Amino acid sequence: MNRWTLTVVATAVAVSLTGCLDSSSDNDRDDNGVSAPIAVELTRLGGYATGEFGKSAAEIPAFDPVNQQIFVVNALSGAVDVLDAADPANPVYLRSLVARVDNATVNSVAWHDGLLAVAVEATPKTSPGTVELYDATTLELLDSAPVGALPDMVTFTPDGRHVLVANEGEPNHDYSQDPEGSITLVEILADANRFGAIRTAGFAQFDDQRDALLTAGVRLFGPADNTRPYGPDNIASVARDLEPEYITVSADSRTAWVALQENNALARLDIASATVTDILPLGFKDYGAEGNGIDASDEEDGLIRIEPRPGVVGIYHPDAISSYNVDGKTYIVSANEGDARAWGEDDDAYWAGDASKGFVEEFRVKHLVHSSGFGRRAGDDLPPQLAALADGALLNPDTFSYCGATVADPGACRDDDELGRLNISWVNGYRQNADGSPLLFDASGVANPAGNLLMYDQLYSYGARSFSIWDEDGALVWDSGDFFERFLANQTEHDCQLRAARDIPCDLYFNSGHDEPGNLDSRSDAKGPEPEGIALGRINDQTFAFIGLERMGGVMVFDITDPTAPRFQDYLNTREDWEVDLEVNPELLAQAGDLGPEGLVFVAAGDSPNGEPLLIVGNEVSGTTAIYQVNRR
């Protein structure tokens, strides 16, 4: 395998979604005194609404069990909203906590043992950010520390000795600046509630391993210099290209795993030495395998077609991750959202052909393999970096014959109701020479140095439309396969119903967008239901995963006590009005319900204001913070 093909495919582990065990009482025990398993479901207790639509006014929540308060990142105001949750059915806004840095934006918040950590993005975002430490009771600023560019997520280690910050280091809009990604580790001086030593774990030590990482499946593809032609000799360094997104920490506070979302990998961090010890590629999900089917089109005249698609793979691209311990081993749980690099997409000069104005890796299959070549999309949605590689592309008929591809013609594969509408990454999947340059083909489909066409052996789509469980080394233990889409299409033995009252069949709004009125199937060409947020919770002797579906909305619940055989528990979607167009009628926001879950936090019964386990969800599109109760079923 050459270094630019990236054909590492993670085989899906068999899905065990055979229903739930009945429950009777938390106190039920078997003859050995072991708690009987329970099944759970969600109900909406209450919530708080900012009244802002589509402005990210409620994103990441954190919970303070001492003061019974919720802290919610409000990206619109660049602050943290503080809610009194003593009555979880009626949370009340108290005040906003504003970052002490001028023109800054709060990205993340975390609570631990009376302290509040806040990640603050600088202006511009390519400049170093800060992390601020507050007294969670008085909201007094105790200390602040410099961190890397675009601090996107903050968390405490379980022992409370460190704050860890994922510095994403995204490029600016035209990709002329691309800061290095990193993780900042800030010591907390327990006797003073102040910050101590500040250390940074970067990735420069992997720069000379780029070829090996590419071969293993790590996505390294951003341009080093947009003023030069794009290609294998113009790729950013590993340190610049890696973009830390989310962090989870082992129970013993010794090791952290960091989601490198755009790179489709995890980084393993040794906390004692503040060193990234490993970059763990996650492979790719084979959509041709049974149980891994997808609905690939948003234009099928109301049909829902979830079926295997050989030659198409999903890039896991995890956003939120969490972890738990089973028999002394740590397992990482990921929400496989997907995320494309699309910089400069709002700049007309980029689409006019000026590659120095951005870098967009997205392209539809129908435009990629059109018989007239790429040129027909020039000035519209043709990335100039792709146009510089070749004049058009073909599909490998050995793989794509099932949809009509021949040596020189994509056939029906590019039809709208087949693969044509699917958004894929043009940077992966085409055949290359040993040096990483494109292996060119002529119009008859024969490899020819004088040719002007690419040959795609695989198509790489965004996300995996699932959640996964990985071991400590990044090996796939279990994946939910195509369950999310099949469930939302009412194609499983489980009944899927929408709204708090559970009175609308999900298939009527299958794969709808979170900001669109009643558009069936509108997200099938992109990332499907788009799982993004995740939280884990322990009830009795069981561990439950709560997965927020950003686009379709709602929260999936699984019992993941056995990481090799999770069991589906429930799905609740409290979007109430599926037909209202809020772009046209923003005054109807209050009746719309909860749209676009972003961040989730679980509250154990012992910490809960009402003595019951709760789930708090920040909904970025509706600007609402929802409080769900986790009930025994």
How many structural domains is the chain composed of? 2
Query: Residues 493, 375: one domain?
Result: no
Q: Is 336 helix (H, G, I), strand (E, B) or coil?
A: coil
Which pLDDT belongs to residue 4? 33
Q: Of 422, 440, 460, at which residue does a domain stop?
A: 460
Query: Residues 455, 426: one domain?
Result: yes
Which pLDDT belongs to residue 103? 72
Query: Residues 285, 390: one domain?
Result: no
Position 530 in a domain: yes
Q: Cβ contacts of residue 230 below 8 Å, gap of 6+?
A: 223, 355, 359, 385, 388, 389
Q: Tokens 């043992």: give the residue.
A: 113
Query: Residues 189, 117: one domain?
Result: yes
Phi then psi dihedrals of residue 403, to 5 deg: -115, 20
Pair of tokens at residue 467: 């959640």
Which pLDDT belongs to residue 444? 94
Position 24 in a domain: no
Pair of tokens at residue 3: 């270094």
| Domain boundaries, position 185 | 40-203+242-339+462-632
Which pLDDT belongs to residue 10? 39
Considering the chain, what percentage of its residues have pLDDT values greater than 90?
90
Query: Residues 319, 347: one domain?
Result: no
Give, for 216, the enclosing helix (H) or strand (E): helix 210-216
Query: Residues 64, 114: one domain?
Result: yes
Q: Is 499 left (phi over 0), alpha (psi -120 to 50) or beta?
A: left
Which pLDDT belongs to residue 535? 98
Which pLDDT belongs to residue 21? 30
Q: Of 439, 460, 481, at which residue does a domain stop?
A: 460
Position 385 in a domain: yes
Query: Residues 418, 546: one domain?
Result: no
Position 611 in a domain: yes
Q: 512, 523 in Cβ contact below 8 A?
A: yes
Could you say which DSSP state residue 37 is in? P
CATH of the domain at 326: 2.130.10.10
Position 225 in a domain: no
Q: What is the pLDDT of residues 406-447, one digit of tens each?
A: 999 999 999 999 999 999 999 999 999 999 999 999 999 999
Query: Residues 473, 454: one domain?
Result: no
Which pLDDT belongs to residue 34? 64
Position 91 in a domain: yes
Rounded distance between C-alpha atoms, residue 422 and residue 479, angstroms: 22
Q: Cβ contacts of residue 60 below 8 Å, gap of 6+?
A: 72, 73, 107, 108, 109, 598, 599, 618
Position 479 in a domain: yes
Query: Residues 452, 530: one domain?
Result: no
Q: Of 431, 460, 489, at which residue does a domain stop?
A: 460
Which pLDDT belongs to residue 606? 97
Rounded distance between C-alpha atoms, residue 144 and residue 146, angstroms: 7
Query: Residues 490, 413: one domain?
Result: no
Position 2 in a domain: no
Query: Residues 577, 483: one domain?
Result: yes
Give, for 504, the enclosing helix (H) or strand (E): strand 504-505
Give, for 350, the enclosing helix (H) or strand (E): helix 348-351
Q: Is 349 helix (H, G, I), strand (E, B) or coil?
A: helix
Query: Residues 313, 406: one domain?
Result: no
With a cut of 70, list the residues of the chain below it in pLDDT.
1-34
